[in-house]
């Protein structure tokens, strides 16, 4: 008990010391899964964000001093995230960055909302890098939440548009998804796009998340329904095992996927992944070679999976910050939010911006096919993502959800 | 005399718990809130495990149910339809815990031992897989989120307010749990653990008794979950996860299930450990696991058990001869701990993506890496030599001292036995 008290007192002295240096320098807290099952993804978000912040700091920093970055480990759970959020706020963090898991993003966005209601003038802003649940820009939307990734309708619309142009979509589609908010969002989007894509959703499945070891019953169902294309929002094992089961059964269908670019997937799926499609935010082949090389130089690998979109998000923040000048005084997070709404970024595929009504990023979506001959082969295989079509932001975008009632500060 | 010391210790701990937090930052205040909640959860669990002799692997079920009950009540207040004092929110957790505890306790206590553990495990797992699909009750995988409303002049917006609210609830609950052990029914609980058959022969309904013990334990676990919900203003299905059930078992065993306050000690130490170390090292889970294994191997009674052992034999321990070996053993443990931490952190640094990037940029194939504010050669004698030396020296000292300490304790045991014999 005494040792505990000593520890507590020692830490108290430290934290008191930390509280005094507050203000002036912009503080960004990365609350990610840095231990546990989601670590590999959590680390990618953190390193990509760090990459841009290092660049900003190499220039001038912001408000007369370098931007400070603090990493917090949420241990892969919402309870850990809630604790870390409180710690971050206590340590004077202005902007919270997170991406892996919609459930954790849901926790953080609500924590931010409550904090801002209780502490006017001392707001915190949340940059959501990868959580795609629709409710985050719907029911749960608020001014201080910004989403820098796509949602189910954006990915599905892009897939449908590119695959039908390539003549690989067909008229019969099977929808198979995980039974939770993301999977249900996907299924709804697949049904909604049927008319525009000229296909019929023959059958659909919602299954348990990451619990199924054998997908052959589903594959048998898919075979019996005689479809041309299987559309799925599955990720991780649910995607790999599904594709492998289909490959083993010699099923002749195309897959339209959303997370096939997760690190290790292509190596794992091997030959069975070839010829299938993915809708993602960035295809490196279309990007400026200089920054890809620079990223590899700095971090040791070319940007993968969610790293490019996180870099883009941070570049938008950089853009927003460049319009602001607090003259070394206290940082007004609301001003940063307003500037972020107006920030734009010219990418190789078009302009990136923020939709004011719900703070959803407006971004083109790239559809790629897994094939040989890609400029950047992935996972040390001969395959990579060959760009098929860039779907413009206007075409991929979906209407603002009615459930989003945003209270604006101005 | 012992009573006076115990009272003094109790007053001291309460003084620290009441007086210290205002001096701390909000981050530590929150960590201390979590510590209190974990302590109550472990105490509730130990009523069943330590006193009733029923090892539950699914206590997360009641913890989670308590949290969800409080969230539903909080939402009802937030939407304006209900007026209910915010400080009393955990009552909803208690009620839900009691109700679910009674129903499931009826099933679970039909069997004992390993079968009982399996039934409880299945119960929590059932809720864990059901919750993400039951939108109305559990809010899908995102869970339910709401906001504490001000009440009676308190805003309940600051962490410190929640800390004191938690402190009051935890103190009251642990007080009640202590009072429980003093009642005839509390004695009956112990008898149940020691010999269930004899309890039955004495004319008690063993099943009904076990069910009540189960429900009481579930009630307090529900309060702990409720307090967590009050603090986080959110609950989701993760609360039913096996890691929550495992965590409480771990806390209880490290703290010591045979001592009343043992589980609280284990919970307090591990919660603070997680808070302080997880920011410093990425390998904190490994350290936590190592500590658990070491405690189980060399102090199976837990930290509380070791402390109690010393208190019980305080007078007969030959302290003059004991101080030397104890100090030596502490120093040796420290040496080994430093050695282990160095090895683990070096390995972590060598396998980190950061170092992979460094290797790409550097001229040489194995550039030096940074750790503990210094630069280290990957294959240098100066890198691996000192930690390995620390480990070996520490181990040798420990092995030597162990015999002396064991011999001294044998003496203590002997004195105690002769005293008991002459007393009889």
Q: Is A364:A396 a contact under the CB 8 Å cutoff?
A: yes
More confident of the two residues B46 and B308: B46
CA distance A114 to A108: 10
Name the domain boundary from B239, B270, B285.
B285
For B374, list phi and psi in degrees, rounded to 5: -140, 170
- Interatomic CA distance for residues B346 and B352, integer angstroms: 10
A80: its two tokens: 């850990």
Instruction: Count the domains in chain B.
Output: 2
Give the whole-angstrom CA distance, residue A355 versus residue B394.
Answer: 62
Q: Do the chains contact at A180 and B140, CB–CB below 8 Å?
A: yes
Phi then psi dihedrals of residue B184, to 5 deg = -55, -35
Q: Would you call A290 helix, strand, or coil by DSSP?
A: helix
Q: Which residues of A touch B155 (CB under 8 A)?
A: 118
Question: What pLDDT is stored for residue B423 in this prediction?
Answer: 65
Does residue B193 surpass a pLDDT of 50? yes
Higher pLDDT, A162 or B361: A162
* DSSP H or E segment with residue A177: strand A172-178
Question: How close B314 comes to chain A (CA, Å)?
Answer: 18
Cβ neighbours of residue B42 closer than 8 Å, sequence gap 6 or more: B248, B251, B252, B255, B263, B264, B266, B267
Name which of A11, A87, A180 is nearest B141 (Cβ-Cβ): A180
Do the chains contact at B282 and A73, CB–CB below 8 Å? yes
CA distances from A52 to A11, B188, B246 (A): 31, 65, 40
Could you tell me if residue B20 is inside a domain?
Answer: no
Using the beta-carbon criterion (under 8 Å), do B278 and A35 form an inter-chain contact?
A: yes
The mean predicted confidence, pLDDT, of chain A is 90
Which residue of B lies nearest to A16 if distances are taken between CA atoms? B25
Kindly tell me if the per-residue pLDDT of A15 is higher than 50: no
Which of A269, A303, A257, A280 has its CA nearest to residue A52? Answer: A303
- Residue recorded with tokens 């993968």: A304
Residue A117: count other Cβ atoms within 10 Å of its Cβ: 13
Instruction: Report the pLDDT value the prediction gives residue A8, as an integer from 0 to 100.
Output: 44
Residue B239 lies in a domain: yes
Best mean pLDDT range from B130-139, B241-250, B377-386: B241-250
In terms of domains, do B155 and B48 share one? yes
Give which of A187, A183, A371 is closest to A277, Cα–Cα.
A371
For A137-176, how does the pLDDT look when each residue is reduced to its tens digit (9 = 90+)?
999 999 999 999 999 999 999 999 999 999 999 999 999 9
Is the CB of A75 inside 8 Å of chain B's CB atoms?
yes
Q: Does A9 touch chain B (CB under 8 A)?
A: yes
Q: Would you state the pLDDT for residue A97?
A: 97
Buried b / exposed e over B107-145, threshold 16 CB at 10 Å, is ebbeebeeebbebbbebbbebbeebbeeeeebbbbbbbb
For residues B88 and B138, state if they share a domain: yes
Q: What is the pLDDT of residues B319-342, one digit of tens each?
A: 888 899 999 999 999 999 999 999
User: What pLDDT is recorded for position A1?
Assistant: 38
pLDDT at A13 over 50: no
Q: Is pLDDT of A20 > 60?
A: no
Q: Do residues A162 and A391 make contact, with C-beta atoms less than 8 angstroms apart?
A: yes
Asked if residue B303 belongs to a domain, the reply is no
Sign of the C-alpha dihedral, residues B290, B293, B297, B303? positive
Two structure tokens written together for B291: 């500590």
Burial environment of residue B60 by CB neighbours within 10 A (0 to 12, 13 to 18, 19 or more): buried
| Cβ-contact A22, A65 below 8 angstroms | no
**Whether residues B31 and B104 fall in one domain:** yes
User: Does residue A22 register a pLDDT over 60?
Assistant: no
**In Å, how far is B157's CA from the nearest CA of chain A?**
6
Both B138 and B35 in one domain: the answer is yes
- Tell whether B281 and B379 lie within a shared domain: no
| Nearest alpha-carbon partner for B384 in B332, B338, B346 | B346
pLDDT given for residue B424 in this prediction? 52
Two tokens, residue A357? 């009504």
d(CA A271, CA A266): 8
Of A12-21, A395-404, B125-134, B333-342, give the lowest mean pLDDT range: A12-21
In terms of Cβ atoms closer than 10 Å to its own Cβ (0-12, 13-18, 19+), residue B247 is buried
- Evaluate if residue B354 carries a pLDDT over 70: yes
B194 and B337 within one domain: no
Is the distance from CB of A286 to CB of B345 less than 8 angstroms? no
Contact B356 A301 (CB under 8 A): yes
Measured in degrees and rounded to the nearest 5, phi and psi for residue A323 equal -85, -5
> How far apart (Å, rounded) are the C-alpha atoms in residues A142 and A357?
10
Task: Tell me, yes or no, whether B291 lies in a domain.
Answer: no
Handedness of CA B76, B81, B87, B90 (dihedral sign): negative
Q: Are residues B32 and B180 in the same domain?
A: yes
Could you say which residues from 338 to 357 on chain B have a Cβ atom under 8 Å away from some Cβ of chain A? 353-354, 356-357
ipTM confidence score: 0.84
Q: Between these two residues, A131 and A4, which has the higher pLDDT value?
A: A131
Residue B2's pLDDT is 63
Q: Could you tell me how far CA B236 lies from the centroid of its own chain?
A: 21
Pairing of strands A383-391, B144-145: unpaired
Domain A152-280+364-396: CATH superfamily is Response regulator (3.40.50.2300)
Lowest mean pLDDT among A73-77, A147-151, B254-258, B267-271: A73-77
How far is it, in rounded angstroms, from Cα B233 to Cα B382?
51
Question: Could A90 and B25 be called an inter-chain contact, meaning their C-beta atoms sit closer than 8 Å?
Answer: yes
Residue by residue, DSSP assigns B372-401 as TTEEE-TT-HHHHHHHHHHHHHHHHHHHHH
Specify whether the CB–CB gap between A249 and A224 falls below 8 A.
no
Closest-approach residue (CA) in chain A for B157: A118
| A362 burial type by CB count under 10 A (0-12 exposed, 13-18 middle, 19+ buried) | middle
Chain A: give the shortest CA distance to residue B357, in Å.
Answer: 4
Cα–chain center distance at B85: 30
Residue B257 CA to residue B263 CA, distance in Å, equals: 6
- CA proximity to B361, closest of A253, A44, A301, A275: A301
- Per-residue b/e over B329-340, b at no fewer than 16 CB within 10 Å? beebeebbbebb
CATH architecture of the domain with range A21-150+287-361: 3-Layer(aba) Sandwich (3.40)
Contact assignment for B20 to A4 by CB distance below 8 Å: no
**Percent of the residues in chain A that have a pLDDT greater than 90, as a whole number:** 72
pLDDT the model gives residue A19 = 42
* Residue of A86, A72, A71, A147 lying closest to A118 (CA atoms): A86
Domain(s) labelled CATH 3.40.50.2300 in chain A stretch across 21-150+287-361, 152-280+364-396
| pLDDT tens track for A38-93 | 888 888 999 999 999 999 999 988 988 999 999 998 888 888 999 999 999 999 99
Contacts of B191 (CB under 8 A, 6+ apart): B198, B199
Mean pLDDT of the B302-306 span: 93
3-state secondary structure of A96: strand
Cβ neighbourhood burial of B222 (10 Å; 0-12, 13-18, 19+):
buried
Structure tokens at A226: 């005689």
pLDDT on residue B109: 93
Would you say residue B40 has pLDDT above 90? yes
Residue A395 has pLDDT above 50, yes or no: yes
Query: Please, which residues 269-308 of chain B have a Cβ atom closer than 8 Å to chain A?
Result: 269, 272, 275-276, 278-279, 282, 284-285
Contact B100, B61 (CB under 8 A): yes
Q: Which of residues 282-341 of A touch B (CB under 8 A)?
A: 296-301
Which chain A residues contact residue B337 at CB under 8 A?
Answer: none
Return the number of other C-beta atoms located less than 10 Å from residue A376's C-beta. 15
Dist CA A261 CA A236 (whole Å): 10
C-beta of residue A81 within 8 angstroms of C-beta of residue A108: yes
Please report, for the domain that includes residue B85, its CATH number.
1.10.3470
Closest residue in B to A85 (Cα) is: B27
- Residue A285's pLDDT is 93
Model confidence at B113, pLDDT cuts 50, 70, 90, reads: confident
Model confidence at A2: pLDDT above 50: no
Mean pLDDT lowest among A120-124, A240-244, B242-246, B362-366: B362-366
Say what the pLDDT of residue A370 is: 94
Residue B48 included in any domain: yes
pLDDT higher at B228 or B382: B228
Nearest CB to B143; choose among A12, A78, A86? A78
Share of chain B above pLDDT 70, in %: 99
Of A44, A49, A29, which is closest to residue A314 (Cα–Cα)? A49
Rounded CA gap, A181 and B327, in Å? 57
| Domain membership of residue B159 as a residue range | 26-285
Considering only CB atoms, B25 lies closest to which of A15, A79, A209, namely A15
Mean predicted confidence (pLDDT) in B362-387:
86
CB A275 within 8 A of CB A369: yes
Residue B9 pLDDT exceeds 80 = yes
Same domain, B192 and B138: yes
Mean pLDDT for B258-284 is 90
**Please, where are the H alpha helices in B183-261?**
184-194, 196-201, 206-232, 242-255
Residues B140 and B64 in one domain: yes
Cβ(B303)–Cβ(A2) below 8 Å: no
């Amino acid at each position: 008990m005494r040792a505990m008290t000593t520890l507590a007192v020692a830490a108290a002295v430290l934290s008191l010391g930390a509280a005094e240096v507050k203000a002036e320098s912009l503080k960004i807290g990365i609350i990610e899964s840095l231990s546990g099952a989601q670590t590999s993804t959590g680390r990618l978000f953190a390193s990509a964000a760090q990459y841009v912040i290092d660049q900003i700091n190499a220039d001038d920093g912001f408000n007369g001093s370098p931007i400070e970055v603090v990493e917090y480990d949420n241990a892969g759970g919402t309870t850990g995230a809630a604790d870390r959020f409180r710690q971050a706020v206590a340590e004077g963090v202005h902007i919270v960055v997170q991406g892996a898991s919609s459930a954790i993003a849901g926790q953080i966005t609500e924590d931010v909302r409550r904090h801002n209601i209780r502490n006017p003038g001392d707001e915190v802003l949340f940059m959501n890098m990868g959580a795609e649940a629709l409710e985050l820009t719907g029911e749960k939307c608020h001014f201080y939440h910004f989403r820098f990734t796509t949602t189910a309708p954006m990915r599905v619309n892009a897939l449908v548009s590119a695959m039908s142009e390539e003549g690989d979509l067909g008229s019969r589609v099977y929808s198979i998804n995980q039974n939770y908010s993301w999977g249900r969002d996907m299924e709804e989007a697949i049904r909604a796009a049927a008319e525009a894509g000229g296909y019929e959703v023959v059958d659909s499945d919602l299954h348990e998340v990451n619990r199924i070891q054998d997908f052959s019953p589903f594959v048998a169902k898919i075979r019996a329904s005689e479809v041309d294309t299987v559309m799925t929002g599955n990720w991780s094992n649910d995607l790999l095992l599904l594709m492998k089961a289909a490959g083993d059964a010699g099923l002749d269908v195309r897959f339209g996927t959303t997370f096939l670019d997760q690190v290790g997937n292509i190596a794992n799926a091997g030959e069975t992944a070839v010829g299938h499609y993915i809708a993602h935010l960035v295809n490196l082949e279309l990007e400026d070679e200089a920054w890809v090389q620079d990223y590899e130089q700095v971090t040791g690998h070319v940007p993968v999976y969610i790293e490019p979109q996180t870099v883009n998000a941070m570049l938008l923040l950089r853009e927003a910050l460049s319009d602001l000048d607090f003259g070394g005084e206290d940082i007004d997070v609301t001003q940063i939010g307003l500037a972020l709404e107006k920030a734009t970024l010219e990418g190789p595929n078009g302009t990136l911006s923020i939709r004011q009504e719900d703070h959803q990023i407006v971004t083109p979506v790239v559809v790629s096919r897994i094939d040989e001959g890609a400029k950047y082969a992935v996972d040390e295989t001969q395959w990579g993502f060959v760009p098929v079509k860039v779907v413009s932001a206007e075409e991929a975008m979906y209407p603002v959800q009615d459930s989003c009632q945003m209270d604006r500060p101005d | 005399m012992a009573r006076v010391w115990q009272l003094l210790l109790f007053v001291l701990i309460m003084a620290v718990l009441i007086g210290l937090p205002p001096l701390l930052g909000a981050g530590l205040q929150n960590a201390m809130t979590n510590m209190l909640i974990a302590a109550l959860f472990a105490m509730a669990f130990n009523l069943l495990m330590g006193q009733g002799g029923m090892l539950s692997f699914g206590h997360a079920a009641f913890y989670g149910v308590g949290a969800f009950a409080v969230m539903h009540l909080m939402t009802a207040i937030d939407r304006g339809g209900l007026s209910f004092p915010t400080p009393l929110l955990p009552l909803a957790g208690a009620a839900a815990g009691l109700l679910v505890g009674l129903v499931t306790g009826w099933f679970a206590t039909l069997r004992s031992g390993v079968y009982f553990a399996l039934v409880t495990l299945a119960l929590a797992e059932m809720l864990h897989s059901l919750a993400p699909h039951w939108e109305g009750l559990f809010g899908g995988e995102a869970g339910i989120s709401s906001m504490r409303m001000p009440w009676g002049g308190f805003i309940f917006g600051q962490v410190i307010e929640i800390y004191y609210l938690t402190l009051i609830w935890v103190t009251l609950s642990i007080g009640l749990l202590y009072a429980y052990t003093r009642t005839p029914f509390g004695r009956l609980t112990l008898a149940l653990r020691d010999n269930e058959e004899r309890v039955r022969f004495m004319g008690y309904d063993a099943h009904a008794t076990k069910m009540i013990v189960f429900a009481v334990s579930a009630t307090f676990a529900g309060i702990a979950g409720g307090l967590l919900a009050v603090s986080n203003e959110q609950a989701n299905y993760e609360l039913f996860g096996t890691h929550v059930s495992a965590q409480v078992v771990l806390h209880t065993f490290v703290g010591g299930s045979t001592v009343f306050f043992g589980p609280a000690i284990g919970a307090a130490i591990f919660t603070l450990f997680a808070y302080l170390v997880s920011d410093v090292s990425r390998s904190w889970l490994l350290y936590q696991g190592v500590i658990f294994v070491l405690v189980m191997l060399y102090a199976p009674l837990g930290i509380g058990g070791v402390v109690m052992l010393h208190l019980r034999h305080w007078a007969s321990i030959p302290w003059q001869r004991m101080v030397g070996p104890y100090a030596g053993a502490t120093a040796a443990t420290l040496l080994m701990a430093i050695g282990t931490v160095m090895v683990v952190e070096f390995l972590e640094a060598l396998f980190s993506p950061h170092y992979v990037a460094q290797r790409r940029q550097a001229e040489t194939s194995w550039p030096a890496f940074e750790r503990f504010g210094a630069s280290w050669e990957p294959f240098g004698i100066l890198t691996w030599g000192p930690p390995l030396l620390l480990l070996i020296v520490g181990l040798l000292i420990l092995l030597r001292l162990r015999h002396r300490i064991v011999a001294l304790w044998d003496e203590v045991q002997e004195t105690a036995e002769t005293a008991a014999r002459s007393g009889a």
